[in-house]
């Protein structure tokens, strides 16, 4: 570039920057531009009703292509899941148990709500009926959508989400099932005891299945539960974070598995008053709850002002499953005082919108694709397939709260990064010792 062209270009760039700066100051006002006083609280779009409508539509987009066909035993005939480019050779059929088990775990709280006459209520009634039929097909060896058998170790993982949903919504998903289907489910879950879990988060999958059996009055194995709980206590590294095995992994498995399953397993032990060994489940539940609250606060701080969040660690393609703890805290009404409902909701929806604004998150048939923010198959792990992606539904747990709950009626509040990068006041952060 000639010297005079460079100078002209630089002057042009400077003029553009100055123009943008003037426009920004005009939009933000004198306080935001640093003229005087503290910056005003940044605005946040989306009322609770709008946020709920968005999340319900996201749920619908995930659920309909799966539950509709599976309720007729036709999912496996229609859905041919994409496999990771580094697929390890396990039976591709594992994709279907992953797809259904993970999806239904995220939908369960919403399906448990009572029927209503509005559009959301009619959708819920339809999907609930389809989910019940899908459970029947899942354990019927003669169905085209039989999900068990011959799947090696992977079936332990997704059977736990399959049973987690039944724990989350027993009256909507378990109790209406016919006796034959119930007996088949129990048989399949007990049969998975043949899988020996590695000393990782997989211990919780085995424990979740036993917690389900306990919750319905079936024979259960307390040793599997005891081992999982004790190992998680041993692997807690502090400030709301768990290691996944003997070594710490900086990833989101605390969201995908550890915090929610630890809490929900302990809830079953506490509610059933199960006694074995020396575990004090009520005390451990309170501790696990506080640790999940702390972890949830850290998750909220990870949501950037634009709704983005750090793409760190394994299994990034599970997308917004990262925010399962925030949804579970909201559903249980356990959000800490420092994280009010309007703030937690705004942060969660901002992250969902940041991810799902990309149309290539879904394929032409409406099924989720492999990727983080769109179709990005090179991000797949060796165990990833398109069915795995339905873990993203776990960010929808707050939909288990009715539309008139304060979580939905509270005005939206700017989340921490939104405040921080607008120069507004935000709370300091400190480690905890529980």
pLDDT digits (tens, 9 = 90+) for 4-32: 333 333 333 333 333 333 333 333 333 33
Average pLDDT, the chain: 91
Q: How far apart are CA 300 and CA 292, in angstroms?
A: 12
pLDDT band for 161, please (50, 70, 90 cuts).
very high
- Residues 76, 77, 79, 85: what is their CA dihedral angle, to the nearest 10 degrees? 80
- pLDDT tens digits for range 65-107: 999 999 999 999 999 999 999 999 898 999 999 999 999 999 9
How many Cα atoms are found within 13 Å in the side-chain-facing hemisphere of 11?
A: 6
Q: How many angstroms separate the CA atoms of 140 and 138, rounded? A: 6
- In this prediction, residue 237 has a pLDDT band, given cuts at 50, 70 and 90, of very high
At 38 the pLDDT is 57
CA distance 293 to 290: 5
CA distance 53 to 110: 13
Mean pLDDT to the nearest integer, 417-431: 96
Q: Kindly state the greatest CA–CA separation across the chain.
A: 84
Query: Minimum mean pLDDT among 23-37, 261-275, 341-355, 406-420: which range?
Result: 23-37
CA distance 434 to 431: 9
Cα(118)–Cα(269) distance, integer angstroms: 37
Q: Average the pLDDT over 41-66 and give the result.
A: 94
Cross-strand bridge partners of residue 242:
236
Give percent above pLDDT 90 in the chain: 86
| pTM score, whole prediction | 0.90
DSSP state of 364: T
């Amino acid at each position: 570039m000639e010297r005079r062209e460079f100078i002209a270009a630089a002057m042009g760039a400077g003029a553009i920057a100055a123009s943008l700066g003037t426009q920004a100051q005009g939009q933000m006002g004198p306080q935001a531009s640093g003229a005087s006083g503290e910056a005003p609280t940044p605005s946040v779009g989306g009322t609770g009703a709008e946020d709920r409508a968005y999340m319900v539509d996201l749920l619908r987009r995930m659920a309909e292509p799966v539950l509709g066909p599976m309720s007729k035993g036709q999912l496996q005939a229609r859905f041919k899941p994409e496999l990771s480019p580094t697929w390890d050779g396990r039976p591709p059929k594992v994709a279907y148990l992953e797809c259904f088990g993970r999806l239904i775990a995220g939908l369960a709280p919403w399906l448990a709500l009572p029927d209503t006459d509005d559009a959301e209520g009619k959708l819920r009634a339809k999907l609930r009926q389809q989910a019940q039929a899908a459970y029947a097909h899942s354990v019927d060896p003669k169905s085209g959508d039989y999900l068990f058998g011959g799947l090696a170790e992977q079936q332990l993982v997704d059977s736990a989400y399959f049973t987690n949903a039944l724990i989350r919504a027993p009256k909507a998903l378990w109790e209406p099932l016919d006796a034959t289907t119930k007996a088949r489910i129990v048989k399949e879950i007990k049969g998975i005891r043949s899988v020996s879990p590695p000393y990782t988060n997989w211990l919780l999958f085995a424990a979740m299945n036993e917690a389900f059996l306990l919750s319905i009055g079936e024979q259960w194995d307390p040793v599997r539960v005891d081992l999982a709980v004790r190992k998680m206590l041993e692997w807690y590294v502090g400030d709301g974070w768990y290691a996944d095995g003997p070594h710490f992994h900086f990833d989101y498995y605390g969201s995908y598995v550890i915090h929610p399953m630890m809490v929900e397993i302990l809830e079953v032990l506490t509610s059933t008053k199960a006694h074995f060994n020396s575990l004090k489940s009520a005390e451990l539940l309170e501790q696990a709850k506080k640790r999940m609250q702390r972890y949830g606060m850290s998750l909220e701080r990870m949501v950037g002002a634009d709704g983005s969040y750090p793409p760190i660690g394994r299994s990034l393609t599970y997308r917004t499953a990262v925010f399962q703890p925030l949804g579970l805290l909201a559903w249980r009404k356990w959000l800490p005082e420092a994280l009010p409902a309007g703030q937690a909701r705004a942060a969660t929806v901002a992250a969902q919108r940041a991810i799902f604004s990309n149309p290539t998150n879904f394929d032409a048939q409406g099924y989720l694709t492999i990727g983080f923010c769109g179709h990005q198959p090179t991000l797949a792990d060796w165990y990833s397939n398109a069915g795995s992606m339905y873990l993203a539904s776990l960010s929808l747990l707050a939909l288990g709260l009715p539309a008139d709950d304060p979580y939905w009626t509270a005005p939206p509040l700017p989340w921490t990064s939104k405040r921080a990068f607008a120069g507004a006041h935000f709370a300091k952060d400190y480690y905890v010792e529980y």
